[in-house]
Amino acid sequence: METTDINLYTFGSHKSLKDLCEKLGDSDFCADLGLRYPYLGGSMAKRISSVAMVEELGRIGMLGFFGAAGLPFSVVESAVDRLAGADFPCGFNLIHSPQEPDLEKALAELYIRKGVRLVEASAFLALTLPLVRYRTHGIHRLPDGTIVVPNRIIAKVSREELAEKFFSPPPEKLLQELVAEGAITAEQAGLAARIPLAQEVTAEADSGGHTDNRPALALFPTIQSVALRMQAKYDYAVKLRAGLGGGIATPAAAAAAFAMGAAYIMTGSINQACIESGTSDEVRRMLAETRQADVSMAPAADMFEMGVTVQVLKRGTMFPMRAAKLYEIYRAYACLEDIPTAERDKLEKTFFQAAMSDIWQNTRSYFLERDPRQVERAERDPKHLMALVFRWYLGQAAHWAKDGQVSRKMDYQVWCGPAMGAFNEWVAGSFLEPPARRTVSTVALNIIFGAAVLTRANILRYQGVQLPPEALNIQPLEYTQIKEYLS
Ligand SMILES: Cc1cc2nc3c(=O)[nH]c(=O)nc-3n(C[C@H](O)[C@H](O)[C@H](O)COP(=O)(O)O)c2cc1C
């Protein structure tokens, strides 16, 4: 067959490409949430997904989640206040905190009190009372029988068992606890038994931060199948949907996600590299140089004792190695005093650059304010004290990176997945190569627009039109150029 010389951008009409961008994914999902494009910027802890990032995504018809994890309560509260009057959809992270259950509860209550209507629930290992309380708050029935649920949860999971739990109605036991507490009425509990805890679940494949490193191609169809199964089982009045995050950094990956049936896509790593993110320019520079294999797993600060790991950058920092060493030591000894002197000296001189006794004093003061039970426990249980001291390092390592503290560059903890390398390869040689040119809106629009162009190319190819190979080489376009196509 002859190769056809078609310009994929202008073939047909601009309008059809614009329409295609808006039709990728599940257009009912976009309509329900008030979005133009099925593109979500996932929560990134410690306000790395900042208010500015959420605003920018909202401005272009996408959805951003504010990164509430790991922040003082007052900082989350002021972000909620700043975004309260927004005339675009936005959401906040509700992260599972098994080590600090009071914090999770306080956060859920803050969202309820302030009328936050959308949260991204993540890192849950089991369902909790605050989560169910958030979802069921204000549930009621209209005169025509419709059940109205004001609060929406988009859950992010890497495991099918959890997807099943989120797609199911809230557990009866937790509903009864809420009734007993007076948080909801028995009638509300009855209504809640007929809705899914989350109508949307994001399948989180191999991503930056908390991840099970599942391959998207295997994980997504599984989660989508769970959605269909649970839909049939509970015969809900609403449609369950599965989105996909983890590894999406290029038009090709986005087009593949939509081709698999993703209702929406979610990105993270590539947004951290954009100028609106709440990290430092130093980290943005490191991210702009990251290649596929420059990431690895390291112990997580929040679930250190449980052996949970997070995906981080390994190029240009020794954090993954040092954090792994700390976990090894934690497993091997019952308390700080049992660590051989030479090893302790090395930790204090090289890793911490501080005396462990001083670190404990700082950590103690911190927890006395935030969660005094941690201090009581540590003073009873020396292994817990050791965990808190080691977690100080893991926590600070993220701050040193975020604040661009150059003297601690070897200890930077930068959450990042292989998506970063894919993005850097795609934009190499283009205006998006320098980190200063990466805005979250330009990156996001390029991915959605490029996915539409590739989808159009595939439709043509399946109809027998032979395209030249360069037609499939989607190059990044300037923001104004894309806006022209999409206007
Ligand atoms: C720097 C960084 C911080 C993150 N922090 C959180 C978080 O606090 N809560 C959360 O739900 N997901 C968090 N994630 C995951 C993202 O929201 C998103 O699901 C993920 O990054 C998508 O995969 P990708 O990194 O391959 O794009 C984080 C990711 C990164 C890169």
- Computed over every residue of the chain, the mean pLDDT equals 95
Q: What is the pLDDT of residue 379?
A: 96
- The CATH code of the domain at 14-280 is 3.20.20.70
Q: Are 203 and 167 in contact (CB under 8 A)?
A: no
Mean pLDDT within 380-389: 97
Using alpha carbons, select from 330, 315, 153 the residue that is nearest to residue 243. Answer: 153
Structure tokens at 267: 């990105």
Q: What is the pLDDT of residue 99?
A: 77
* Å from CA of 211 to ligand 1 middle: 9
* Å from CA of 243 to ligand 1 middle: 14
Q: To the nearest 10°, the Cα dihedral for 62, 26, 254, 467?
A: -120
Mean pLDDT within 59-87: 95
Give tens-digit pLDDT for 187-213.
999 999 999 999 999 999 999 999 999
Give tens-digit pLDDT for 263-310.
999 999 999 999 999 999 999 999 999 999 999 999 999 889 999 999
* CA 237 – CA 442 distance, rounded (Å): 37
What percent of the chain stands above pLDDT 90? 89
The torsion angles phi and psi of 279, rounded to 5 degrees, stand at -105, -170
Length of the chain equals 487
Give tens-digit pLDDT for 390-432.
999 999 999 999 999 999 999 999 999 999 999 999 999 999 9
Q: Where are the domains of the chain?
A: 14-280, 318-411
* CA 326 – CA 406 distance, rounded (Å): 22
Which DSSP state fits 336?
A: G
Pocket flag, ligand 1, residue 97 (CB < 6 Å): no
* Å from CA of 173 to ligand 1 middle: 31
Pocket flag, ligand 1, residue 200 (CB < 6 Å): no
- Dihedral angle sign, alpha carbons of residues 348, 349, 351, 352: positive
Q: Has residue 4 got a pLDDT over 80?
A: no
Full-model pTM: 0.96
Q: To the nearest 10°, the Cα dihedral for 341, 343, 349, 354?
A: -70
* Å from CA of 201 to ligand 1 middle: 15
Pocket flag, ligand 1, residue 426 (CB < 6 Å): no
Check residues 61 and 16 and name the one with the higher pLDDT: 61
Helix (H) or strand (E) holding 145: none
Q: What is the DSSP string of 391-432?
A: HHHHHHHHHHHHTT-GGGGGG---B--THHHHHHHHHTTSTT
Tell me, rounded to whole angstroms, the distance of Cα 453 from its chain centroid. 26
Q: What is the pLDDT of residue 14?
A: 66
Q: What is the pLDDT of residue 435?
A: 97
Residue to mutate (ligand 1; options 201, 269, 277, 286; most atoms within 8 A of CB): 269
Give tens-digit pLDDT for 87-138.
999 999 999 988 788 889 999 999 999 999 999 999 998 999 999 999 999 9
Output the 3-class SS for 100-134. Answer: CHHHHHHHHHHHHHHCCCEEEEECCCCCCHHHHHH
Q: What is the pLDDT of residue 100?
A: 80
Q: What is the pLDDT of residue 387?
A: 97
* Å from CA of 288 to ligand 1 middle: 17
* Å from CA of 35 to ligand 1 middle: 21
Residue to mutate (ligand 1; options 43, 158, 280; most atoms within 8 A of CB): 43
Q: Which atom of ligand 1 is nearest to the CA of 70?
A: 8
Structure tokens at 129: 């009372």
CB-based contacts of 132, cutoff 8 Å, min separation 6? 170, 171, 174, 175, 178, 192, 197
Residue to mutate (ligand 1; options 103, 119, 415, 426; most atoms within 8 A of CB): 415
* Å from CA of 317 to ligand 1 middle: 19
Q: What is the pLDDT of residue 471?
A: 82
